[in-house]
Amino acid sequence: MINVGILGGTGFTGGELLRILAYHPKAQVKWVYSRTNAGDAIQKIHEDLDHFEHLNFTNILDWEIDVLFMCLPHGATAAFLEQNNVPAKIKIIDLSNDFRLNNREGFIYGLPELNKDQIIRNNKIANPGCFATALQLAILPLASENMLHSDIHVTAITGSTGAGKELTPTSHFTWRTGNLSVYKVMKHQHIAEIVQSITQLQKSFNQKIVFVPMRGNFTRGILASIYTKCTWTQEQTLIIFKNFYKDQPFIHITDQPIDMKQIINTNNVKISVQIIDGYLHIVSTIDNLIKGASGQAIQNMNLVCGFPENLGLNLKSIAY
């Protein structure tokens, strides 16, 4: 049994970590740090978490833990590590974007389907972004075969939880309901992560990723529609994808239509591939709070702690 600490446990990702860890057979939450809520019960913020009725938020850092999850805002993780001497024995899993690029400060990019061997050997993991996870998992099999020679066009839609828990004009219920919009067109911060992973497998890649993100009028999930030119057959493409992910427990490849509810509330990724008139069309869907954040963080915890990769993550999707 390992002891876990969570920094920043009041947001969406902190709440999802607690919900999954509540039933993880090898991990127990020792503390959840929050300066503004210190002394309050966990249930004051996360009302559904009856499992943690014995636990209060704390502003005391107790380093007698094995794993530290960092769910701080972007930029705050790096500042925290500069100001606090976290013992080297503690495994750090950061859910912000502070250390995702260029193995900054010794952090390994925590996409298990790409970097599993490095993750297992490292104590500092930078959890990938949600859009980055959905998109690169749809593209990496092609990079592994040096098949990316045209621009990649992406339209992807995410739920309101992707904007974080702090209320903003575009995450407010009255704005989101019955509404759709695009944002950060071809400027999204996750593009750099995707290119970093693609060039890890296909060093010659220098094409554009034309990414149009969209805000959806639902709470959770990502569905991405991706296309690029190709000269391959349907059968060849399916074989490439299935072979690339043959040992990955959370990736499911099909040539049939898929939808977001098939993966909501799970750590699964569903990817559909079809060849249409000289183009490869890929649909990729994940739960942005689980495989796009907290579930992937626990997947990484399992790897760095020597547990089975899917331990505590056999979650059931919702059908309706």
**What domains are defined for the chain?**
2-128+291-304 (3.40.50.720), 130-289 (3.30.360.10)
Active-site residue numbers?
130
Number of other CB atoms surrounding residue 79 within 10 Å: 12
Q: In what order do the strands lie in the sheet with 269-276?
A: 181-182, 209-215, 152-158, 222-229, 279-286, 269-276, 251-254
Mean pLDDT over residues 171-178, rounded? 86
Under DSSP, is residue 27 helix (H, G, I), strand (E, B) or coil?
Answer: strand
Q: What is the pLDDT of residue 27?
A: 98
Identify the pLDDT of residue 172.
Answer: 81
Nearest-angstrom CA–CA distance, 217 and 177: 5
Q: For 250-263, what is the mean pLDDT?
A: 97
Q: What's the rounded Cα separation, in Å, for the pair 138 and 143?
A: 10
Tell me which of 18 and 168 has the higher pLDDT. 18
Q: Does pLDDT of 167 surpass 80? A: no
Q: Rounded to whole angstroms, how far apart are CA atoms 101 and 78?
A: 13
Backbone angles phi, psi at 81, to 5 degrees: -70, -30
Residue 22, helix vs strand vs coil: coil
Asked if pLDDT for residue 197 goes beyond 90, the answer is: yes
Does 319 have pLDDT greater than 90?
Answer: no
HSE, CB side, 13 Å, CA atoms: give it for residue 63. Answer: 9
- Asked whether 86 and 92 are in contact (CB, 8 A), the reply is yes
Per-residue pLDDT, averaged over 71-98, amounts to 95
Determine the pLDDT at residue 212.
97
Residue 162: the pLDDT is 84
